[in-house]
Structure 1
Amino acid sequence: MSGSANRPVRRRTFVLGGAAAAGSAALPATASAAGFGWRDDGSHYVVDTGAQLVFKVSKSNGDLTSLVYRGTEYQGYGGRNSHIESGLGSSAVSIRQSGSTILVSVTYGTLKHYYAARSGENNIYLWTNKADTSVSATRYIVRVKAGLFRNDQPDSYTYAPTAIEASDVFRKSDGQTRSKHYARLRVMDYSYVGWSAGQVGLWMVRSNHEKASGGPFYRSLLRHQSADGGGLYEILYYGQNQTEAERFGLQGPYVIAFTDGGAPSSSLFPGTLTTPWADSLGLLGYVPASGRGRVAGVGISGRDTAYPYTVGLANSAAQYWGSARAADGYFSVGGVLPGTYTLTVHKGELAVLTTSVSVSAGGTTTLNTLAVPSSNDPADANAIWRIGDWNGTPGGFKNADLMTYAHPSDVRAAAWTGNVVIGSGSETSAFPCYLWKDVNSGILVYFRLTAAQAAAAHTLRIGVTTAYADGRPQVTVNDTWTSAVPAPPTQPNTRSLTNGSYRGNNHTFTYSVPASAWRTDTGQYNVLRIDIVSGSGSTGYLSAGTSIDAIDLLA
């Protein structure tokens, strides 16, 4: 196909899919399985699904070297294949057919990787078992030829020739920013990612992420596209702004799916996909449905019905989550490996209740109504004033939505500076979602107190969702009282605020402000100054910083 490097000749559609799109899903192709089978061409195992997909796996290293759908090659750019991480190197690769399933097995040290094809389907099912840290395997990437799909989304590079940070964040000539990190979505928000171009859709349907880390609200790169080509990712473990230790074991299946341009079938989605046909394949670490359990909760009381609630299960071996029903808080989390888990109830993204639950194979652990104590939800405390909502996110603050798909320097961002007046009606929308030592430290909040309020000491709270380079707030009231420098809470030690993620460890800083700090003239404004302090960080948007959840002064 001819055309410039920046734009193909024909118009094509670029899609990020989520569970909400399941209703329009196209079923897997099953028109014909006449050609189903495999052959050895000397260097590759060549698998024909008997539908419209033929793929090749290298016999030397397990790379996926060809993806031919309806006669068109989709695999590869820059001479690179699709594979685990950046390629495993010399591996033991074998193939066998079991009825209507063909399985290719790859062994590289302690790592096992599998490709499976089903007769009559345009899908490739993948599993990866990383046993330990001796092998680097943080992702599977499907590399796609350039020019096959439109390229104009936040995670695209083509229109952004100027690198502005770490060689993976770019600025376009119009001032907008692009990066493969900028996909907007949390893990729980999507079931698949990919592209659609006329009569062809190419998708990566994610696994249930039980062996990944970071929980339901985690954000990581999902896809990229540049002048060289595109990539679809299944992240096995991602270190950027990571809040948990790496988990090991079998992850999958995740699915490379071709369609006639529509979304992949909802039958492939995590939580929906069943693979009884894989029970007898001998996949290392595979646990069939019969070896898993379920946790179901009658409901959750003490909820703030203005917010969604999510229930998460986690231990060192696995993680799961499910949404609580808006009406009563009922929840059900299935497909859980046997074990004891910490169950966490989240209001938005803020943990408001934790307990322990045990799961057994083939059983359902039923929980009575879980009660969220009012003391666990900071929003229940009586406040003189409050900026933002206690929900574990910077939602509602200035630039908050933009920061999930753009760099802070993006031309679309409102000024990061500017002070706030309590009672103006725009306290939250005027307050920046992020504060940096080198950008907007020293922001001022103006507020009045009654005589009775000014006569008493009060607690000031600042909730944060993550921090970069140990950035934390120190406060000064009326230039007469300054708090001590608080200790830095445990936070990820990588980039966060500049790569589309505010998700770290929620933490609340509290400051006991004495009565002597307040102005006694009720007609005068009190002035709160918030400075970001740290001995770490660089300059500008990579200086020490933090993301704001809520700020309030308690009565």
Structure 2
Amino acid sequence: MSGSVNRPVRRRTFVLGTAAAAGTAALAGPLAQGASAAAFGYTDDGSNYVVDTGASLVFKVSKSNGDLTSLVYRGVEYQGYGGMNSHIESGLGTSTVSIRQSGTTILISVAYGTLRHYYAARSGENNVYLWTNKADTSVSATRYIVRVKKGLFLNDEPDSYTYTNSTIEASDVFAKSDGQTRSKHFSKLRVMDYNYVGWTTGSVGLWIVRSNHEKASGGPFYRSLLRHQSADGGGLYEILYYGQNQTEDQRFGLQGPYVIAFTDGGAPSSSLFPGTLTTSWADSLGISGYVGAGGRGRVAGVGITGRNTAYAYTVGLANPAAQYWGSARASDGYFSIGGVLPGTYTLTVYKGELAVYSTQATVSAGGTTTLNSIAIPATNDPSNASAIWRINDWNGTPSGFKNADLMTYAHPSDVRAAAWTGNVVIGSGSETSAFPCYLWKDVNSGLLVYFKLTAAQAAAAHTLRIGVTTAYANGRPQVAVNDTWTSAIPSPPTQPNTRSLTNGSYRGNNHTFTYSVPASAWLTDTGQYNVLKINVVSGSGSTSYLSAGTAIDAIDLLA
């Protein structure tokens, strides 16, 4: 299914960008003039509205269904593969499409049922600004995909695959001949970790700069597919709502702008990034659901005490209508979250990805809600509990466990993964690195942890805690000690009901299982190792890596 290469590839480079990366890259600002000197404006070719940005970009939008049918930059067509256009979801049906120019802005409006979608161009910019307003579930609109012609950007990254790779799961996870795995799901990043996604040849960059995701779901740590590359071509995504590994209900309303940006090979300008992009020029365009800066507010916190300074802290705001987040300053915990729609929000403080504090905050238009210093109670952080032993630290992620980093961009069967089996000895110094980040009923259930107790410790009952970040098919841990005591089977907590552990995500709902182990379970000989067995139990799941499983945050035996 290969084809001729459309143009020479100068350099194979894959980029998922952050603001820090953009600061060192060659920038193409939103008002930077392109090489061409064409006149800004639009025409009607009968089937499409044709927009010339007056820079180096000309694009077309179908008058019948609102598809983006052409994306020509410096005379090269980038749009389309497999006979498909760029569009919402898999394309809308017959729609009402209109266009108008307001000074230096051209706006194309698409109406399909209750859905409203918009494309905007600004004079002299090589950008297309997009908004999508999904009002309800009557219209399926969970993504926008920019389809890019084959041969323009080549790479061999975790989200790339070819049809000569063998399919190992669900027709969307592949294995190369060398045993490395590939999938469109393997993005590596949480939503808070990137501002843009795309490719560069060194002389041309094509990017989607994400929106602020205020109408998306899943929070700052959510992971979803961002990009793919195959033999047919490539796709860049703005995910409006992604059902896989989802922990929240879908939100409705206007999402955007997100931006299709061309550059001279560098990163897109940081002025396009969520949090820095200003769109006062769109205030009077009549975009359905649009709320300008004057109709938004801010939440600011003086500081956060009770933090473990070894970790980054994030503050999130969420209600059924919107979500936002921001980083707490490392020195004192100060935070400021702007551009917030009016309303009352649950404010959550996260240590890493573990919620350790929650309160309410009400935001009004044009105002700043200032919060006094937040004090995290010591009991809210499970790491503060005195433990006889602890494997990993409590931070809401499996980071540090065996294979944890690899699992954000590879399948568990990947040749680069260390063996998922193997037991753990407390006091060995390798407890965390030897303990697998994921446990499955069909793969490594029955893992053993060896540990010794003093006479005083063995004479008392103790609480064992196992923290998890998600589960697949209701997988949860049942434990046994020394083959003399076995816990009850715990009830499964609420978790996403889709694949997770095999498609690059450990993110679900953090949950702590607690087990009260009686003193009679311990060995009285202090020279002998007690043996903890951790089994994965469930009545659901398939086989192998799709059997019931769970991702581990931390395990400890309290004093």
Q: 1:388 to 1:336 in 2, by over 3 A?
A: same
TM-score by length of 2: 0.98
Superposition pairs for residues 500-519 of structure 1, below 5 Å?
500-519=504-523
Q: What corresponds to 1:39 in structure 2?
A: 43
Of 85, 95, 106 in structure 1, the residue corresponding to residue 99 of structure 2 is: 95
Distance 2:493 2:238 in 1: 30
**Which blocks of at least 5 consecutive residues in structure 2 are unaligned?**
none
Does residue 246 in structure 1 map to residue 255 in structure 2? no
Distance 2:4 2:304 in 1: 56
Query: Do 1:312 and 1:344's aligned partners in 2 also have CA atoms closer than 8 Å?
Result: yes
SS of residue paired to 1:523: coil
Does residue 541 in structure 1 map to residue 537 in structure 2? no
Deviation sequence 1:305-334 (CA, Å, 0-9, x none): 000000000000000000000000000000
Q: What corresponds to 1:364 in structure 2?
A: 368
Does residue 225 in structure 1 map to residue 229 in structure 2? yes
- Across the aligned residues of Structure 1 and Structure 2, the Cα RMSD in angstroms comes to 1.4
Q: What corresponds to 2:33 in structure 1?
A: 30
Distance 1:88 1:318 in 2: 25
Does residue 288 in structure 1 map to residue 282 in structure 2? no
Query: Do 1:187 and 1:216's aligned partners in 2 also have CA atoms closer than 8 Å?
Result: yes
Q: 1:99 to 1:57 in 2, by over 3 A?
A: same
Q: What corresponds to 1:146 in structure 2?
A: 150
Query: Do 2:10 and 2:202's aligned partners in 1 also have CA atoms closer than 8 Å?
Result: no
Distance 2:346 2:79 in 1: 41
Quick check: 12-21 or 49-58, which moved more?
Answer: 12-21
Distance 1:424 1:30 in 2: 61
Once the two structures are TM-superposed, the CA of residue 219 in structure 1 deviates from its matched residue by: 0.1
Q: What corresponds to 1:275 in structure 2?
A: 279
SS of residue paired to 2:545: helix
Distance 1:38 1:115 in 2: 13
Q: What corresponds to 1:414 in structure 2?
A: 418
- Percent identity reads 86
Query: Do 1:7 and 1:150's aligned partners in 2 also have CA atoms closer than 8 Å?
Result: no
Query: Do 1:396 and 1:428's aligned partners in 2 also have CA atoms closer than 8 Å?
Result: yes
Deviation sequence 1:214-267 (CA, Å, 0-9, x none): 000000000000010000000000000000000000000000000000000000
Of 529, 534, 537 in structure 1, the residue corresponding to residue 533 of structure 2 is: 529
Once the two structures are TM-superposed, the CA of residue 198 in structure 1 deviates from its matched residue by: 2.5
Once the two structures are TM-superposed, the CA of residue 20 in structure 1 deviates from its matched residue by: 2.0
Q: What corresponds to 2:385 in structure 1?
A: 381
Query: Do 2:245 and 2:500's aligned partners in 1 also have CA atoms closer than 8 Å?
Result: yes
Distance 2:277 2:16 in 1: 20
Superposition pairs for residues 124-139 of structure 1, below 5 Å?
124-139=128-143
Once the two structures are TM-superposed, the CA of residue 284 in structure 1 deviates from its matched residue by: 0.3
Distance 1:111 1:378 in 2: 45
Once the two structures are TM-superposed, the CA of residue 30 in structure 1 deviates from its matched residue by: 2.2
Once the two structures are TM-superposed, the CA of residue 199 in structure 1 deviates from its matched residue by: 1.1
Distance 1:19 1:531 in 2: 43
Once the two structures are TM-superposed, the CA of residue 159 in structure 1 deviates from its matched residue by: 7.5
SS of residue paired to 2:450: strand
Distance 1:55 1:76 in 2: 12
Once the two structures are TM-superposed, the CA of residue 290 in structure 1 deviates from its matched residue by: 0.1
Quick check: 28-37 or 387-396, which moved more?
Answer: 28-37
Distance 2:457 2:130 in 1: 62
Aligned residues: 554
SS of residue paired to 1:403: helix
Q: What corresponds to 1:205 in structure 2?
A: 209
Of 435, 441, 456 in structure 2, the residue corresponding to residue 452 of structure 1 is: 456
TM-score by length of 1: 0.98
Once the two structures are TM-superposed, the CA of residue 33 in structure 1 deviates from its matched residue by: 6.2
**Which blocks of at least 5 consecutive residues in structure 1 are unaligned?**
none
Distance 1:476 1:20 in 2: 48
Superposition pairs for residues 254-273 of structure 1, below 5 Å?
254-273=258-277
Q: What corresponds to 1:353 in structure 2?
A: 357
Distance 2:203 2:538 in 1: 54
Does residue 21 in structure 1 map to residue 21 in structure 2? yes
Deviation sequence 1:253-309 (CA, Å, 0-9, x none): 000000000000000000000000000000000000000000000000000000000
Query: Do 2:80 and 2:147's aligned partners in 1 also have CA atoms closer than 8 Å?
Result: yes
SS of residue paired to 1:444: strand
Distance 1:317 1:20 in 2: 30
